[in-house]
Amino acid sequence: MTSLSKYLLIIVLSSLTFSLKAQSLLDMLEEENKIEMDTIIVAGTFKSTRLINGQTSEICGKNQMNFIVSHRFGDIKMGGYEFWGLDHSLIRLGLEYGLMNKLDIGIGRSNENKLIDGYIKYKILSQSSGAKKMPITLTWYSSMAYTDQTWSDPNRDNLFTSRLFYVHQAIISRKFSDRISLQITPGVVHRNLVENNDDQNDVPYIGFGGRIKLTRRISLNGEYFWVLPGKTAENTVNSLAIGFDIETGGHVFQLHFSNSRGRTEQGIPNNVNDWMDGEFGFGFNIIRNFNLKK
């Protein structure tokens, strides 16, 4: 090797080693951090357990309790005399409690149809990143509802079972980014009693919902329930709701407009309110979180 190339080699080698030494300690830590990742379970997909009228994939968590007031005013089309629906109120009061880390139970009563509903909600899969990756959150929701309404025709032999309604749905959600979360909820509403033989006792539907976070505490929410084609779908209008979530520490306030019937999924097959006819109303939900852990 010539003298020149020897010197060049020394210069190149020494600059290489010195630049290696110049990698900052912090850079080294960050590189290490990327390799040995823990599993991070995604939290805060939605601000609360309710999207607008329907459920989100969130659950309370152990020993947490939510008090939920779901309030809807009457339809805008009622006009000025009824103060555009504000004179009428449709309301559901509910409580839900985290029995275990992944299991919620809840109960509530709506004044529409004097419906008392009880449910369980179980988080089967949690979205996570890092060492163990899970792309979605999957929560199961099952509810049973009882209508306390007096029989429309007391003279005939009315069955107790005719007062019962069931809803079963799978809530599949994904938090795409800090700002955007979307969910899909395929489900079925079961009515024990329908009018005609060719009416559906089981009404399948798919819900679509999502939120866009506008600020750290405010998000824009949307929800749509599509009743699958069938006899019920012909006489039903799909429920559409749009609103804002405002989170203030222990409360989430949800202000929205919606055409839905009923404050729970049981109302999906009964909806005949059409947005185009002004048959939608303003509503608000308040969800207050209580920590029952000592």
Partner 1 sequence: MKKTLISFWFITLLAGCTYDSEEELYGTCDTLNVTYSTVRPIFEANCISCHNQSVNNKGIILDTYNDAVEAAETERLRKAINHLPGVTPMPYLMDKLPACPVLKVTVWIDNGTPQ
Partner 2 sequence: MNKVLSLILLFTPAICFGQSVFQTNQGSVKFTSDAPLEMIQAQTLKIKGLLNTTERSFAFLLPMSSFEGFNSKLQQTHFNENYIQTDKYPNATFEGKIIEEIDFSVPGTYEVRGKGKFQVHGVEQVRIIRCKLTVAEGKITITSKFTVLLADHNIKIPSVVSKKIAEEIVVELSTTLNIKK
Compute CA distances 197 → 200, 231, 263, whole Å: 8, 11, 27
CA neighbours closer than 13 Å in the CB half-sphere of residue 94: 33
Least gap, CB of 139 to partner 2 (angstroms): 16
Q: How far is the CB of 146 from partner 2 (least distance, A)?
A: 31
Amino acid at position 28, single letter: M
| Sequence-ordered strand ranges (E) for 30-63 | 39-41
**From residue 89 to residue 128, what is the string marking binding to partner 1 with x (rule CB under 8 A)?**
-x---------x--x-------xxxx-----x--------
Q: Tokens 């080698």, residue? A: 13
Q: How far apart are CA 153 and CA 183, in angstroms?
A: 41
Return the number of the residue (191 or 211) whose C-beta is nearest partner 1: 191
3-state secondary structure of 156: coil
Binding partner of 293, given partner 2, partner 1, none, CB within 5-8 angstroms per partner class: partner 2
Which one-letter DSSP state was computed for residue 20?
H
Instruction: Give CA–CA dist 133/127, Å, rounded.
Output: 7
Nearest to 168 by CA among 192, 146, 137, 189: 189
Question: For partner 2, which residue of 216, 229, 234, 276 counts as binding (CB under 8 A)?
Answer: 216
Query: Segment contacting partner 1 (CB under 8 A): 36-44, 127-135, 175-183, 189-197?
Result: 189-197
Contact by Cβ (8 Å): 124, 131? no
d(CA 14, CA 27): 21
Q: Which of 9, 180, 272, 286 binds partner 2 (CB under 8 A)?
A: 9
Give me the 152-191 binding string for partner 2, x by CB under 8 A, dash otherwise.
Answer: -------------------------xx-------------
d(C-alpha 290, C-alpha 46), whole Å: 18
> Which of 42, 68, 78, 240: binder of partner 1 (CB under 8 A)?
78
Nearest-approach distance from CB 174 to partner 1, in angstroms: 26
Select the residue interacting with partner 1 from 128, 142, 238, 289 (CB under 8 A): 142
Q: Name the nearest CA neighbour of 254 among 45, 44, 48, 43.
A: 48
Q: By C-beta, is 59 or 145 nearer to partner 2?
A: 59
The binding track of 52-91 with respect to partner 2, each residue x by CB under 8 A or -, is ---------xx-x---------------------------
CA distance 284 to 96: 18
Cβ contact 207:224 at 8 Å: yes
Pick from 7, 149, 180, 292 the residue near partner 1 by CB under 8 A: 149
Ramachandran quadrant class, 198 (left: phi over 0; alpha: psi -120 to 50; beta: rest): alpha
- Work out whether 34 is an interface residue with partner 2 (CB under 8 A): no
Task: Single out the residue of 93, 98, 91 nearest to residue 58, CA to CA.
Answer: 98
> Would you count residue 19 as binding partner 1 (CB under 8 A)?
no
The residues that touch partner 1, with contacts defined as CB under 8 A, are 78, 82, 88, 90, 100, 103, 111-114, 120, 142, 144, 149-157, 159-162, 164, 166, 168, 190, 192-197, 199, 201, 261, 270, 272, 277
The residues that touch partner 2, with contacts defined as CB under 8 A, are 1, 6, 9-10, 13-14, 16-18, 20-21, 24-26, 28-30, 32-33, 36, 38, 40, 43-44, 61-62, 64, 177-178, 216-217, 247-250, 289, 291, 293
